[in-house]
Chain A
Amino acid sequence: MATQTHVTRRTFLAGALAIGGVAALAGCVTGGSGGGSSSGSGAITLQSSLSDPAPKAALTKLVGEYKGGKVTLNTVAIEQFRAQLSTYLSSNNPPDVLTWYAGSVARDYASKGYLLDISDLWEGDGAAAHYSKALKTLSTDDKGRQIFMPTNYYWWGVFYFKDAFQKWGVKVPTTWDDFIALCDKLKSMGVNPLANGIGSTAWMASGWFDILDLRVNGAQFHRELLAGKHSFDSAEVKKVMKYYAQLVPYFDPDMTSFAWQDAVTPLVQGKDAMYLTGAFISQNITSNADNLDFFSVPVIDKSIPTAEEAPTDGYFASSKTKNKAATKKFLSYLASSKSQQEFIEASKSSNLPTSPDVDTSKFSPLVQKGLKMLNDTKEITQFFNRDSSDALQTTADTALTKFLANPGDVDQILKDWQAAAQKVWNS
């Protein structure tokens, strides 16, 4: 009996504690509560979305070689990283440094005060002081502060294998009509002219949309369109879709089931001929890499200034970091020309360094060619979602995959797209 009362009292106490816990929770869900204890250890956390094997290994190596303090690297697959990003940043104890890309999302978080102002790294003898003006603009928020540290970028182009083109006896097209004629010829030879992977990576369908809009209407119009200043069912966009519709018969019929990575296989095997994608494709080319080449999508309207897509990747830091100095020091390390070079080499990508101090002369001819194309082009855009938002990307995915399946319904699809986009802009 005595034991029983004892247990009773103890269990009761536990119950009271649990209930007390509930009360203590009140008001800490939608509002931020006081910050946690600050640790002065100098240890910082890098939250990374680079879960592809080679880039992950490259970043791990880079972090391992850092001598300036303890850095913990956490890798989370991109899908989840994106889902959790707002939770990470608004938490009381956020990761200090995060991988991200330049563009509207970063600017949006900056306007909420979540991102660390790293303007001092962009001036004097800061790590990014000598970066190009375009990069600085790209990394600047609405208040004129720099909140992003770009470390590499890459280009989009139509990739193909030189030896395959030789075998088929075809040449790189220089005009749009050439390009269509080439597609025709390849198709008649039993080769799928165009590879793509719009299954689990439906955003790949925006690659062609972006580049065709750049060719038909130009970068200025493209940016305004994505900012909501033009309508997706406007005459201009309809014109873009006319060109896009010309390509529909030439795509690999399996593209709807493929992710972008899957689409590389038929390209390597010579079942598909050309693939409009980012330079990240070279990570996935394990054999015959020397024959990989690319060309820019041919000009359609000569009066439109040339433009290419060149998404920029890098890092930003949380404004709530407990170790501002250590965080900036680590960002500077990541941005240094040595780190950039090491990262690009180890990650096996064809990415380009943002630092002008990196000696690119030893980079592969493919990369040199990419660099030259970007240097020669008049305008640079990022990519659909980076120039707008992930929300608008979702509307594009729906509209464009539907269009690729039913190009005849284009008018209705554009109308629905505009309605969906309007919702995003209104929210």
Chain B
Amino acid sequence: MSDTQTAPPAVSAVDAPHRELPWRSALRWESGLVIVLIATLIFAGTQSSDFFTQSTMFYIGLNMGEIAIMALPLTLIVMTGEIDLSVASMLGLAGTIMGYLFEHHWNIYLAMAAALVVGAVGGALNGALITRLGLPSIAVTIGTLTLFRGLAEVILGNSTVGGYPLSLTKIGVVPIQGTQISYSVAIFLGLAVICAIVLHATPLGRSIFAIGLQSEAAHFAGIRVGRIKFWLYVLSGVLCALAGILFTLKNASARFDAGTGLELNVVAIVLLGGVSIFGGRGSIVGVVLSVVIVGCLQQALTQMHVDAQVQNIVLGGLLLVSVIVPNGGEAIRRIRARTRRRVPA
């Protein structure tokens, strides 16, 4: 029996319900998200008197900024049929590195650069194991998730590092002058525009779609599947490191366990944004909408004094509904067909 040369996609595509063209399904999903967003805003406005105030947008941005930045490369990775669960751990490791170096009297900007380099190296490790050795991305990134977090723990232990220049930590306190946009959101939006252009209008983006839909055919068409996936993981590492830098400066403190557990939030947001876990489908606009929806929802619930953990019910429910509803019609049809067949002719 032939052994596969590369690992199968992160999720088995045996029952992948691919009926529509990628762009058509994306459009439908985005329309759905817009409706959900409007519903969320109505809900937020009516349930919380504080929602439509000046600083709300700033606080939402503050909370979501780093997660949103991590969601962008993850979107691209998931679209090629892979996954990266190490995102939040890289956030922690990068922040840790920056803090550690800063504590040892490195120039803050050099420390940040070093953190980005660490991000690239970590991403390259993921990429090499997955593309060169052909190991399954879900297992590898669970391993690197643990490894990166562990390295952060080794470096910083239980201590925290603070004392960053105020000119930098202000990103956690004030928005960009004259607006209610937090610095992290601004960076996110800039990156989102770039990602959207690349994904939807360049040969690289078209290749990403092709790899996710049918990687063998992509290979036969001369697309360098392995190389693209490798560099996407490096990109993920770098952007997660960036998120880690922002997270640390926002909180004015570096700790090894920064961002623990966030990876699942990021995955949930990407999936909610209409990116198919099987690959080949999705859009950046959908992910941006998803970020906004989740951000508004969480802000509203917090203002309604709903416990952060309890808010998880809403996130989980939203995720579930978003994947069941498209399949729901099909499922009902299938059940009806099965019961019809059982009736004797």
Q: Do A and B come from one complex?
A: no
Interface residues of A (CB under 8 A from B): none
Interface residues of B (CB under 8 A from A): none
